[in-house]
Amino acid sequence: MLTLGNIEFKSRLILGTGKFSDTETMVKAIEASGTELVTVALRRFNRDKPDDDLCAPLARLKGITLMPNTSGAMNAKEAIRAAQLGRELSGSSFVKVEIHPNPHHLMPDAIETYLAAKELAADGFIVLPYIPADPVLAKKLEDVGCAAVMPLGAAIGSGGGLSTAEMIKLIIRDSNIPVIVDAGLRAPSEAARAMEMGCDACLVNSAIAAARDPSAMAKAFALGVETGFAARQAGLMPKSEIAVASSPLTSFLGK
Amino acid sequence: MFLTVNEENYVHSGDGTIGALLAELGAKPEHSALTVNRDIVFSKDWKSFKLNDGDTVEVLTFVGGG
């Protein structure tokens, strides 16, 4: 079980809801993934497109908890405000703190993220911050009461994979809270690798939404996460610098 | 009543309650969150809250996001 705050989840795959071609495709992908936690963003109501809001289709899904993000916030103050509005709408205390002021690379602002996470955790939110893969920052976020840390694998939407693997390993080594890879994953094999390394969950959006068949890719990611976690539980064999024969190197035939 | 709603000039012809404004906009109250002059107005306070001429209102809802 993945425990975030005081809530337990069977699935270790968290889905983002952005970039899907239409709502129905998104709903089917969520169902196919088996996820129990999905992220949503807060934006201004569009009078010209009143049906754009995701509340109705998401409310139809059973067993799904919403985690509003704070995207669009440029600093801690704006993120805190977004989190409060998100809680008001979702009825959920989960918040993905996401502050990335530069639209070119969308790298998280570590300082503002820390300030927002600290205040929101103190205010009773279940805080999951999206962060650079920085083990020092991750530990500080644990100390102020975050429910998990979510280091990036690569830039948001880039499909760059698990480019920060070595840093994420350092985060996992010292962390007493779940470590969730968020952003950058492109292939289910990368999700499996993250789980084998010791991650507790993966958050995936673009790789599923931009796949030719999003539902099939959602299922593939679910299997990748499950496989990687099962492999870690099973215990990977130690690595060796040289060959280690599977059979004795004595008593050959004809000798 | 003259308002700014989601950064556009807006003439509200109702009674200045949040419910009346949302109905006029076609926004579902249960799917909306609201700020007035940058302050959050929580749904529990909507019934007693009255908008004033010149107020700046933001009506927010959930969209897809990662």
Instruction: Supply the DSSP string of A24-74, one letter for each residue.
Output: HHHHHHHHHHT-SEEEEEEEE--TT-GGG-SHHHHHHSTT-EEEEB-TT--
Residue A239 lies in a domain: no
A10-24 tens-digit pLDDT: 999 999 999 999 999
Residue A249 lies in a domain: no
How far is A18 from A26, CA to CA, in rounded Å? Answer: 8
How many angstroms away from the CA of B39 is the closest CA of chain A?
A: 9
Task: Give the nearest partner residue to A69 out of B6, B60, B65, using CB atoms.
Answer: B65
Task: Give the nearest partner residue to A17 out of B26, B33, B64, using CB atoms.
Answer: B64
Contact list, A84 vs chain B (CB under 8 Å)? 40
Domain that includes residue A217, residue range? 2-234
Q: Is it the case that residue A47 has pLDDT exceeding 70?
A: yes
Task: Give the nearest partner residue to B60 out of A43, A52, A203, using CB atoms.
Answer: A43
**Domain count across chain A:** 1
Residue A200 lies in a domain: yes
Question: How many distinct helices (H) and strands (E) make up chain A?
Answer: 9, 10
Burial class (CB in 10 A: 0-12, 13-18, 19+), A8: exposed
Residue A78 lies in a domain: yes
The CA–CA distances, whole Å, from A252 to A181, A242, A243, A247, A248 equal: 49, 21, 18, 10, 9
How far is A201 from B58, CA to CA, in rounded Å? Answer: 35
Interface contact flag, B63 A203, Cβ < 8 Å = no
Give this complex's ipTM: 0.91
Using a CB–CB cutoff of 8 Å, tell me whether B11 touches chain A. no
* CATH at A29: 3.20.20.70
A48-86 tens-digit pLDDT: 877 677 888 888 888 999 999 999 999 999 999 999 999
A128-170 tens-digit pLDDT: 999 999 999 999 999 999 999 999 999 999 999 999 999 999 9
How far is A134 from A159, CA to CA, in rounded Å? Answer: 20
Neighbours of A184 (CB within 10 A): 24
- Tell me what the pLDDT averaged over chain B comes to: 94
Q: Is it the case that residue A255 has pLDDT exceeding 70?
A: no
Q: What pLDDT is attached to residue A54? A: 84
Residue A34 lies in a domain: yes
Residue A247 lies in a domain: no
Residue A140 lies in a domain: yes
How far is A248 from A32, CA to CA, in rounded Å? Answer: 47
Contact list, A214 vs chain B (CB under 8 Å)? none
Please give the CATH superfamily to which domain B2-60 belongs.
Beta-grasp domain (3.10.20.30)
Residue A243 lies in a domain: no
Q: Is it the case that residue A96 has pLDDT exceeding 90?
A: yes
